[in-house]
Chain A
């Protein structure tokens, strides 16, 4: 019997149902995201600020041109990159370590797991105040502890020194958002079947080897997701820095979000603000795309994905 190849009805049926399942989520995403994003792109080609009495005037690429000369933008971009890279790296290492600890069986594990989520559960604006207070040079606990230990005798001006201020906000951010990573990874760890570890231990693997050869590759999807989301969140950081340092001292901790927010909400310079948004956004997309590309390539090479 010679027959034509069947159209794959299973795939077709799956697709039909798939779209039905997917559509509500897509609609909500579009409803919430499409307009703001589209508006940003549109506005970036207009000048709309106090000078134009807030009326949009088409100005082509002028906003983008202005951005090239805007040292403040590039400085904030640099700050944000430093902040993001350092904090996400630290969070990842810490988060993974915490997830591994929480994945062990011990008494009171549920309590400890809940405690481990606490930092993430505290409202950022409030806890940022607390951190600012903790790093205060006169009243802060950090200085007080250091003094008591005898490491210093004069309070360190944490938030007044550009480098220390960056360090302080990174510490606060790492503390606050590490749980995001650890809880995601914990869930991933929990879904790795025990018998793989058993087989691997019988193969003679030490815990460290099992971690490298079983845990890491099988956890990769969650790791990638956690990193991408943290990367995006971290790049868009606002509350914490706004409250802790307000971008100071001397703009040393000012991030892109802070600058964009000021441009739009305080300077009412919408066109330019939109252009800032668009460029930042595209840079982020580019960064993630490049990361995805390399990840794919390395994955294809080592073929480590399930």
Chain B
């Protein structure tokens, strides 16, 4: 059923023909225009960046801003750090969140409404203020300059979303499937791993992407908890990019850092979101 090439209706035929491409173009424009602007900025010379009238296409193409990132600083190293932290916190968030979500979706816990409410409520706490309290905890546990000081909070901050999203997807699965797996002899964990999670790949990929991105880009914790040069993450490193003076905002190098810092995300998102596919459960049950 996934191959359904639906026959367009005659009346709406012509409308549909241009509507979809048009809307795709609009979406691309909306999402890409400012990013493209950053990309262009990153290869413009400084005078071009602040020229009046605005210079759109660079009059002079330069990679200086990129050189600044990699030559003056170990930007690759920062990217590795970010990757490590983001990947581990994503795994942790999914690894803890998905089972918890399943428990809340299907296992009829007592007081689950209260737990759900609690999970929801913590997300309402202004995140900017979380870190002062966390700083205490980090110091108490002597976790400063330890990746764990980032991984755990990132995972925790993304847990509520993971749990609630996964839960909503688990609830939409046909229950007969799980019953069938139980009769087959799957344990609850096996059931989760082999049957339920593969069928909720879209949700898993989605929350994975969201968690990964938020961990990759998090700034305040990364700034406060990690002071070791070799352990810094991309956003912190980007914040250290200096201009000629402390007053200057170095738009060029920042644009370059934005581009470079986002490229791995693009690759990962491409990878992850291939999993957001339609009709995963089609053909499973009747009724």
Contacts and interface: CB of A to CB of B under 8 A. Distances in A.
Given A126-B258, A280-B126, A133 B120 contact: no
Contacts of B156: 28-29, 31-33
A19 B115 CA distance: 11
A214 interface: no
Given A25-B159, A129-B254, A190 B277 contact: yes
B121 to A, nearest CB: 6
A136 B236 CA distance: 25
B266 A28 contact: no
Q: Which of A190, A261, A288, A306 has the most CB of B within 10 A?
A: A190
Contacts of B79: none
Interface in A226-258: 228-229, 232, 235-236, 238-239, 256-257
B273 A32 contact: no
B128 A238 contact: yes
30 contacts: A17-B188, A18-B108, A21-B192, A22-B115, A28-B92, A29-B122, A36-B133, A97-B23, A110-B273, A114-B269, A114-B273, A115-B32, A117-B213, A118-B262, A120-B213, A121-B213, A123-B235, A123-B238, A125-B238, A126-B258, A130-B34, A183-B276, A190-B202, A190-B280, A191-B202, A191-B280, A194-B282, A225-B161, A281-B125, A285-B121
B219 interface: yes
Contact of B132 (A112, A229, A264): A264
Interface in A197-241: 198, 207, 218, 221-222, 225, 228-229, 232, 235-236, 238-239
Interface of B: 1-2, 4, 12, 20-21, 23-24, 27-28, 30-32, 34-35, 37-38, 41, 50-54, 92, 96-97, 99-100, 102-104, 106-110, 115, 119-134, 136-137, 152-153, 155-157, 159-161, 163-165, 168-169, 171-172, 188, 192, 200, 202-203, 205-206, 209-210, 213, 216-217, 219, 234-235, 238-239, 249, 251, 254-255, 257-258, 261-262, 265-266, 269-270, 273-274, 276-282
Given A25-B159, A238-B128, A260-B128, A130 B108 contact: no
Q: Which of A22, A139, A218 has the most CB of B within 10 A?
A: A22
Q: Which of A14, A102, A114, A288 has the most CB of B within 10 A?
A: A114
B110 A15 contact: yes
Given A25-B97, A221-B168, A225-B165, A138 B52 contact: yes
B31 A17 contact: no
A106 B273 contact: no
Contact of A22 (B99, B210, B265): B99
A273 B128 CA distance: 12
B10 to A, nearest CB: 14
Nearest to A109: B24
